[in-house]
Structure 1
Amino acid sequence: MYSPTPDDWQDANRARWDERVPIHVASDFYDLEAFRAGKDALRPFEIAEVGDVTGKTLLHLQCHIGLDTLSWSRHGAAQVVGLDFSEPAVETARGLAESLDLGPDRAAFVTADVYDAPTAVPDSSYDIVYTGTGALNWLPDIGRWAETAASLVAPGGFLYLAEFHPLTDTLDDGTGSVVTHDYFNREAWVDETPGTYADFDAPTVHNRSVEWQHPVGEVVTALAAAGLRIEFLHEHDATLFPRFGTLERGTDGHYRFPSDRPRIPLMYSLKATRPKPDQA
């Protein structure tokens, strides 16, 4: 249900994520055995849109257990840094890095709130600041996030965001065809759903979550106001899990509506650069 932002929103969300780390580690969704053996955690469109990361530094905000972060290292990034507010998630990420023989000079992980990233990460700026899926909905202030993320982009570097499309949060869970929620609502969404996207039936105790919806226009405007130049905004007709009961899994492992249904955007991605001083 919608409500004013509760005072304990961060503590509630952290408890929820801390509890789900071991569930995710053991899940087929993340499949850590396959990841250690070389499976890429990144989506093909992300790899294509980010481009060659060889020799570059990359900061991953809200990295969870670090699979995406470490995948960028495998793609050639000189150094990757992952940040997350969940200590169990960060410890898991560090363990994964060690199992892949990636020392802290190649892959480092820090525990901190995303808004505190500038004082928590090892360096003041990065060639690429990356944010993966399912991140922005946990943040109450998208303008503050944009300012924080933009401050960490080196001149000539860029921010890359891949996220679930907020339009999907307005639709009914069963069919994804009926608008049931307000796209422009700014209040917090407080929920008590047990389990997790990686295991819907997992027994869980800390089920309270506090989330926010951020329309695409709000995100783009916030990044532009923070001094970044929007290079592209792409919308995608596929998503990563069966968000609606009518979605069908394709051969690429992504979920789409049946071919006889009109398509809507299920995810979006954008790239925003920080101009060099002589380009500003």
Structure 2
Amino acid sequence: MSDNDPQQLGSAADVRARIDTSKPHSARFWNYFVGGKDNYEKDRELGDHIKEIFPGLVDVARTSRLFLGRAVRHLAAEQGVRQFLDIGTGLPTADNTHEVAQRAAPDSRIVYVDNDPLVLAHARALLTSTREGETAYIDADLYDPEAILREAAKTLDLSRPVALIILNTLGHVADHRQARDLVARLMAGLASGSYLVISDSTATSEGMIAASNEYNKSGAIPYYVRDVEEIGAFFDGLELLEPGVEQVTRWRAETEEATPVDAYGAVARKP
């Protein structure tokens, strides 16, 4: 069960009143790409436009979700991790972090973090748990790591290892040095033996760069694609798990053929 009081999250009507449907939003745009229904006309219009420019972004959205599942499953089943802090949760779909983790280890505890009104409206769908574990939701901002850690500590034991997950979110931080600082401050508050899981779209093809430029013209919060080396820099000082920083489709791929995509990720351990 969760400690979150549904009343504190606000009624669905109150939360939806805060949603701006006049321009696209990254969570809804991504939801459209993975086949979800929690999106609006502006999100779909942008999605269709981007698909004309670079249909490969649909593969990035789909395979990034699969990467999340493999990473969480590996950490829970093979590394013994029982605590997960998922920042930039996005909209619920199939195989959310708590579902994958608790399937492998029912006593897992998961804290989700986001500050988007539509995600908040769906928070109750995420606030489910096995009887042995716990799931909670924090309405907080990536730009305030200390507040995130403070609230997460109400559900997680930060003196024990935690897997910090930040997927397809750091691209919203324009300055790479600031993005690295945010990650470092979050990891500094976690115990030795904790893990960092990151993936983001990358500037590894002309199509992806063009798609990013068009997205950033749409009025949505901009998303900046980075070089692979910049993705790798988020893991400085940590011990990378094999195969290191790799295309999300090739990170511990479960099939021999992995579709190339413009998205890289990795999992690393804090010494």
Normalising by the residue count of structure 1, what TM-score does the alignment of the two structures yield?
A: 0.56
Query: Relative to structure 1, is the Cα distance of residues 209 and 155 closer, same or farther in structure 2, using a 3 angstrom cutoff?
Result: same
2:216 to 190, 206, 216: 190
2:104 to 75, 88, 102: 75
Query: What is the count of residue pairs matched by the alignment?
Result: 205
Q: Quick check: 1:150 aligned with 2:169?
A: no
The DSSP-based 3-state class of the residue aligned with 2:89 is: coil
C-alpha distance in 1, partners of 2:171/2:119? Answer: 18
Q: 2:264 matched to which residue of 1?
A: 268
Residues 82 and 108, structure 1, Cα contact 8 Å, conserved in 2: yes
Residue ranges of structure 1 left out of the alignment (5+ in a row): 1-10, 33-40, 174-178, 193-206, 240-251, 257-263, 276-280
Please report the RMSD computed on the Cα atoms of aligned residues, expressed in angstroms: 4.3
Shift of 1:83: 0.4
Q: 1:203 matched to which residue of 2?
A: none
Q: Quick check: 1:84 aligned with 2:96?
A: no
Q: Which shows bigger deviation, 47-56 or 65-74?
A: 47-56
Query: Relative to structure 1, is the Cα distance of residues 46 and 231 closer, same or farther in structure 2, using a 3 angstrom cutoff?
Result: closer
> Sequence identity of aligned pairs in percent?
14
The DSSP-based 3-state class of the residue aligned with 1:113 is: coil
Residue ranges of structure 2 left out of the alignment (5+ in a row): 1-18, 39-64
Normalising by the residue count of structure 2, what TM-score does the alignment of the two structures yield?
A: 0.58
Query: Relative to structure 1, is the Cα distance of residues 147 and 92 closer, same or farther in structure 2, using a 3 angstrom cutoff?
Result: same
Q: 2:28 matched to which residue of 1?
A: 20
Q: Superposition pairs for residues 204-219 of structure 1, below 5 Å?
A: 207-219=219-231
C-alpha distance in 2, partners of 1:56/1:222? Answer: 23
C-alpha distance in 1, partners of 2:130/2:74? Answer: 28
The DSSP-based 3-state class of the residue aligned with 1:268 is: strand
C-alpha distance in 2, partners of 1:42/1:138? Answer: 21
Shift of 1:57: 0.9
Q: 1:95 matched to which residue of 2?
A: 125
Shift of 1:143: 1.6
Shift of 1:158: 1.2
C-alpha distance in 1, partners of 2:130/2:70? Answer: 27
More helix by share: 2
